[in-house]
Amino acid sequence: MKESAFSPTEEFALEQDNRDALGPFREEYYLPQGIVYLDGNSLGMLSKRAERTLMDSLNDWKRMGIDGWTQGERPWFYQAERLGACLATLVGADPDEVIASGSTTVNLHQLASTFYQPEGKRTKILADELTFPSDIYALQSQIRLRGLDPHEHLVLAASRDGRFLEEDDIIACMTEEIALIVLPTVLYRSGQLLDIPRLTEEAHKRGIMIGFDGCHSVGAIPHRFSEWDVDFAYWCNYKYLNGGPGSVGALYVNRKHFGRLPGLAGWFGSDKEKQFDMELSFSPAQTAGAYQIGTPHILSMAPLFGALSMFEEAGIDQIRQKSLQQTAYLMDLLDEELADHGFVIGNPREDARRGGHVSLEHPEAARICKALKDSGVIPDFRAPNVIRLAPVALYTSYHDVWRAVQILKRIMEEQTYERYENKRGVVA
């Protein structure tokens, strides 16, 4: 039996916190007293810096009115580009390849409408059966808009076990009928990290463009989209990046595609020098900024300036290192303390294949989540049987992880979860 690098004692957890180089960032966040928050892969917590930069924008509006578009510390007219440059360092892109804009699904619609060009035999989109449903809805819509049948023209790579995807199986689906591939970087249930460079290389060998949904990886895992030659990507900024509920999303477009006319044109995709010429002919920006559609959501962007400043200071590589350490520690504790309670760890154990959360499976998952929440641990439930637990490097302590497992152990030993209905809430 492999010897563990961890100890199940509380003293060990406290010792790890004392050694944690990222530990001081915890003081930057508003964390509810006595609560262990392990749902940062669904909605990250508010930081004091994010609060300040939001208030800065409100004060600019209060003081300057419409002049806030061009004056102040962060003129609104250029906010999307400035945030794009900050985000670019997290995904391995040039600053002009990333723009903060829209939302996850809106950005997917934009990118699919641009890069899905069915022609001849190539009329199908390849996705996977484990992806987040909103992506499927958008791709089905894009296929219908071209007069095609999604049942025939949307190919879903199958999972062998309902948890993971095998890259070989995805590659086998890359036939001469595929016009576009859209895949997640990390699977939202199981936390599996796909081999993005390999999948991109195999798609391009076959003349297929490929894009990725980075919602469950950006801010937790370093990417090198430009180096890997990914065609496009899109993600939300309210999970690991702590931009706030409904925060503006972001997208990446490889510079080799600059100059391509966006599928969904709008005035904020204009060359900024010409935008207010009010001409009826569209002059798109020669950057990822061309893929903006409408006026930026300034107050939804503002918290990101504060939130992202900490990622710049901490460094995404150090964040990833701690994330891997904490998820490994969490799994070790679950193995040690809860082996007899019917749990299955449904995420990859290997560091290279694991995202930022632990996927804990149990037939009573919904009611266990309710019991955890009432006991001061905030988890995340995903149907049909998954408890997602996400230690977030910038504000989750090792002691938090230890406490969460002790509380879960008590819930199972005392069977307090039986007081609850095994059914998810309206918002899971």
Q: Write the CATH number for 79.
A: 3.40.640.10
Q: Is residue 350 part of a domain?
A: yes
Q: Is residue 262 part of a domain?
A: yes
For the chain, what percentages of helix, strand and coil (3-state, to nearest 5) are there?
45, 15, 40
Q: Is residue 45 part of a domain?
A: no
Mean pLDDT score, 229-237: 98
Q: Is residue 213 part of a domain?
A: yes
Res. 240: pLDDT tops 70: yes
Residues 56 and 101 in one domain: yes
Residues 115 and 219 in one domain: yes
267 is in an annotated binding site: yes
Q: Tell me which residue range forms the domain holding 410.
A: 10-30+316-414
Res. 2: pLDDT tops 60: no
Give the end of a domain, one of 285, 312, 339. 312
Res. 173: pLDDT tops 80: yes
402 is in an annotated binding site: no
Res. 199: pLDDT tops 80: yes
Mean pLDDT score, 151-168: 98
Res. 141: pLDDT tops 70: yes
Residues 308 and 327 in one domain: no
pLDDT at residue 1 in the model: 43
pLDDT per residue as tens digits for the range 402-426: 999 999 999 999 999 999 988 888 6
pLDDT at residue 274 in the model: 92
Residues 69 and 139 in one domain: yes
Residues 221 and 269 in one domain: yes
Res. 144: pLDDT tops 70: yes
416 is in an annotated binding site: no
200 is in an annotated binding site: no
Give the end of a domain, one of 292, 312, 332. 312
234 is in an annotated binding site: no
pLDDT per residue as tens digits for the range 3-27: 678 999 999 999 999 999 999 999 9
Residues 355 and 226 in one domain: no
As a whole number of angstroms, the distance between CA 208 and CA 189 comes to 27
135 is in an annotated binding site: yes
Residues 306 and 361 in one domain: no
> Within a 10 A sphere around the Cβ of 426, how many other Cβ atoms?
4
Residues 140 and 282 in one domain: yes
Determine what percent of the chain is predicted with pLDDT higher than 90.
Answer: 95
Mean pLDDT score, 74-102: 97
pLDDT at residue 409 in the model: 98
Residues 307 and 359 in one domain: no
Q: Is residue 172 part of a domain?
A: yes
Q: Which CATH number characterizes residue 385's domain?
A: 3.90.1150.10
Cβ atoms of residues 99 and 288 within 8 Å: yes
Q: Is residue 114 part of a domain?
A: yes
Could you tell me which of 427, 399, 294, 425 has the C-alpha nearest to residue 35?
A: 399
Give the end of a domain, one of 262, 297, 312. 312
On average, the pLDDT of the chain sits at 96
Q: Is residue 3 part of a domain?
A: no
Could you tell me which of 63, 118, 89 has the C-alpha nearest to residue 319?
A: 89
Domain total of the chain:
2
134 is in an annotated binding site: yes
Residues 258 and 407 in one domain: no
Token pair belonging to 365: 């998952």
213 is in an annotated binding site: yes
105 is in an annotated binding site: yes
Residues 25 and 76 in one domain: no
Mean pLDDT score, 151-171: 98
Indicate the pLDDT class of residue 126, thresholds 50, 70 and 90: very high
Res. 392: pLDDT tops 80: yes
pLDDT at residue 425 in the model: 80
As a whole number of angstroms, the distance between CA 154 and CA 91 comes to 28
Residues 226 and 258 in one domain: yes
| 384 upstream amide cis, omega within 30 of 0 | yes
Q: Is residue 38 part of a domain?
A: no
216 is in an annotated binding site: yes
